[in-house]
Structure 1
Amino acid sequence: MKCYCLNNFSSPLQEKDIDLPVPHTNQVLLKVKASGICHSDIHLCNGYYDIGMGKKFELKDRGIELPLVLGHEIVGNVVAKGEDVKDIEIGGNYIVYPWIGCGICENCKESCENYCLSPQYLGINKPGGFAEYILVPHYKYLVNIKNMDPAMIAQYACAGLTTYSAINKIEKNIYKKKPVVIFGAGGLGLMAVSILKALGGYGSIVITNDLNKKQAALEAGALAVFDYNDEHLVKKLLDHNSNHKYHAVIDLVGNSNTTKASFDILEKSGALIIVGMFGGLSNWPLAFIPMKALKIIGSYVGNLSEFNELMKLVIDQKLEPVQIKKYDFDKLNEALSDLRSGKVVGRAVIINNI
Structure 2
Amino acid sequence: MIRQSLIAYGAALAETKAALPEPKGSEVLLKVSSCGVCHSDLHLQDGHFDLGDGKRLDITSGRQLPFTLGHEIAGHVEKAGPDAGPLDPGSFYAVYPWCGCGQCEKCRKGQEQLCDTPRHLGITVDGGFASHVLVPHPRYLIDAHGIDRRLAGSYMCSGLTAYSAIRKAERFLPANGSVMIVGLGGLGMMGLEIARALTSARPYAADVVAGKRETALALGAVAAFDPTAPDARKLVLKQAGAMDVAIDFVGSEASLTFAQSVVGKGGAVIIVGLMGGRFSLPVPMFPLRELTLAGSYVGSLDEARALMALVREGRVRPIPVSERPLSEANAALGDLRAGGVTGRVILKP
TM-score, with length taken from structure 2: 0.96
Asked if the contact 1:68–1:124 (Cα under 8 Å) also holds between the matched residues in 2, the reply is no
The 5 Å alignment of 1:312-351 reads 312-351=309-348
1:151 is paired with a residue whose SS is coil
Q: 2:308 aligns with which of 307, 311, 320?
A: 311
Aligned partners of 1:237, 1:250: CA distance in 2, in Å? 15
1:152 maps to 151
Shift of 1:176: 4.5
1:257 maps to 254
2:60 is paired with a residue whose SS is helix
The one-letter amino acid paired with 1:16 is: T
Stretches of structure 2 lacking an aligned partner (at least 5 in a row): none
Check if 1:208 corresponds to 2:200: no
Aligned partners of 2:171, 2:219: CA distance in 1, in Å? 21
The one-letter amino acid paired with 2:116 is: L
Aligned partners of 2:44, 2:279: CA distance in 1, in Å? 23
The 5 Å alignment of 1:111-130 reads 111-130=110-129
2:42 is paired with a residue whose SS is helix
Shift of 1:66: 3.0
Asked if the contact 1:50–1:280 (Cα under 8 Å) also holds between the matched residues in 2, the reply is yes
1:223 is paired with a residue whose SS is coil
Aligned partners of 1:296, 1:223: CA distance in 2, in Å? 24
1:261 is paired with a residue whose SS is helix
The 5 Å alignment of 1:1-354 reads 1-60=1-60, 63-86=62-85, 88-146=87-145, 148-171=147-170, 174=173, 176-241=175-240, 244-352=241-349
Q: Deviations over 1:44-91 (max 9, x none)?
A: 111111101111111125x44433100000001111112232463122
Aligned partners of 1:300, 1:249: CA distance in 2, in Å? 16
Asked if the contact 2:151–2:318 (Cα under 8 Å) also holds between the matched residues in 1, the reply is yes
Aligned partners of 1:224, 1:172: CA distance in 2, in Å? 23
Asked if the contact 2:162–2:187 (Cα under 8 Å) also holds between the matched residues in 1, the reply is yes
Q: Deviations over 1:253-303 (max 9, x none)?
A: 111112112222222221110001111110211121122221110111001
Shift of 1:146: 2.2
Aligned partners of 2:215, 2:255: CA distance in 1, in Å? 20
Stretches of structure 1 lacking an aligned partner (at least 5 in a row): none
Asked if the contact 2:146–2:312 (Cα under 8 Å) also holds between the matched residues in 1, the reply is no
Shift of 1:92: 1.3
Aligned partners of 1:290, 1:215: CA distance in 2, in Å? 36
**How well do the aligned residues superpose, as a CA RMSD in angstroms?**
1.5
1:342 is paired with a residue whose SS is coil
Shift of 1:131: 0.6
Aligned partners of 2:14, 2:125: CA distance in 1, in Å? 17
Pair 1:122–1:229, CA change in 2 (3 A):
same
